[in-house]
Amino acid sequence: IHKWLSPPDPSTNHNLVCSTHHKQTATWFFQGRIFWEWKSTGSLLWIHGKHMPSGSGKSILCSTIIQDIEALYNAREASMAYFYFDFWNANKQGLHDLVPSLLTQLSAGSSLCCDILSKLYSVHDNGMKQPSDIVLTKCLKDMLMLPNQLPIYIIMDTLDESPNTSGIPSACERVLQLLKELVDLRLPNLHICITSCPEINI
């Protein structure tokens, strides 16, 4: 099923960013009220970098957030999935890249999520057909709405690197629509964090 979905691997971006960390990286952020409120309550945290232009450290901050949540995941205290949008990689720019990656990451730690993916695979002639973005998005929502779940953290870096100049709607607008739909679910255990430059439509 993983081969069928062919999700891009965000760990390559993550490992590269983590290699630039210094001791005490982002300590100031983890000690702040905003981070702890996001971590403890279902909410959306948008780190828009109004005064942090491209290359000023948003990805480093995002990578440290991922590392912090990974500690909960490894202790089986949370589910998580993350994604790095990448202007230089055409396979890491749109909704059709993001959602399969989130699906496979969430299913890695949950047998119930695996069951949802297995059903998706079977209704598409056991991988002979490809699912649409609409179907994949519904699958993601089904996973998030499973009952009696641990806290779920979804972290996305550099949303502004999703193209915003072509397509109707643009790749960036489609991701933004997904975010709106996820927030509208009003799930108390869902924590979403995104970083971006302060683009007009984000």
Is 123 inside any structural domain?
A: yes
Q: Check which CATH number belongs to the domain holding 9 and give it.
A: 3.40.50
Residue 83 to residue 95: CA distance in whole angstroms: 11
Is 26 inside any structural domain?
A: no
pLDDT digits (tens, 9 = 90+) for 74-127: 999 999 999 999 878 877 888 999 999 999 999 998 999 999 999 999 999 998
Could you give the residue ranges of the DSSP H alpha helices within the chain? 2-5, 11-18, 27-30, 33-40, 58-74, 95-108, 111-123, 133-144, 171-184
Is 117 inside any structural domain?
A: yes
**Residue 8, pLDDT score:** 94
Structural domain tally of the chain? 1
Is 76 inside any structural domain?
A: yes
**What pTM value is reported for the model?**
0.89
| Closest-CA residue to 67 (of 1, 122, 19) | 19
**Residue 199, pLDDT score:** 62
Is 34 inside any structural domain?
A: no
* Domain span holding position 45: 2-18+41-195
Residues 102/64, Cβ–Cβ less than 8 Å: no
pLDDT digits (tens, 9 = 90+) for 162-201: 766 555 457 888 999 999 999 999 999 999 999 987 764 5
User: Tokens standing for 23?
Assistant: 């001791």
Half-sphere exposure of 18 (CA within 13 A, CB side): 13
Is 24 inside any structural domain?
A: no
Is 36 inside any structural domain?
A: no
Is 23 inside any structural domain?
A: no
Q: What are phi and psi of 161, to 5 degrees?
A: -85, 0
**Residue 88, pLDDT score:** 80
pLDDT digits (tens, 9 = 90+) for 39-48: 999 899 998 7
